[in-house]
Amino acid sequence: MERNNLYPIFLKTEQLRILIVGGGFVAEEKLHFLLKSSPAARVTLIAPYFREGTLEASSGHRITLRQELYHCDHLQGNHLVIAATDDPEVNRQVFEDCRKRRILVNVADTPSLCDFYMGGIVTKGHVKIAISTNGKSPTTAKRLRQLFESILPEDISLLVQNLNSYRRKLKGSFEDKVTRMNELTKPLVEED
């Protein structure tokens, strides 16, 4: 059976510079997805035009809109790039330009031109769960996200905060602390 070999990471997007190339529906969708999970993200959008929804979504956030055609100079200083234009040639050029500069890139709806995917995300306070289907089925990721959102209690963040307070009070080696935290939290997953 084929398996998902992607490695999930959680990025501190407020410390990174992210570029979205495109101003249409897909670019707007990527921007919404990013801001929902990371409202303090620093994002620049480059496009000859922007949808009204994109203009509204960028209001009140750390978003820069540059109404112009894409050029490879736009990549300067960015850590992550999302190509989401309706022109496959521009998207491929963005991919190739990013490759030359070793910048991570996602070309919307083109898994073969992606260094990363933007999967489903569930956030409940301090708890965040990322869901990936290896680019095979965004609908499945969406349904799993909805499932986790419905079953995780709203106050799970309080549990995380309490366990963090307890962990900071523990004395001993790292190994001792891990053992004690594992013993304390074991009943959370044991079946009756």
> Does residue 191 have a pLDDT over 80?
no
Task: Evaluate whether 182 touches 153 at the Cβ level (below 8 Å).
Answer: no
Residue 124: per-residue pLDDT: 92
Fold of the domain spanning 13-118:
Rossmann fold (3.40.50)
> Does residue 187 have a pLDDT over 90?
no
- Nearest-Å Rg of the Cα atoms of the chain is 20
pTM of the complete model: 0.87
Domain boundaries, the chain: 13-118, 119-152, 159-188
The span from the CA of 132 to the CA of 24, in Å, is 24
| DSSP result, 86-153 | S-HHHHHHHHHHHHHHT-EEEETT-GGGBS----EEEEETTEEEEE--TTS-HHHHHHHHHHHHHHS-
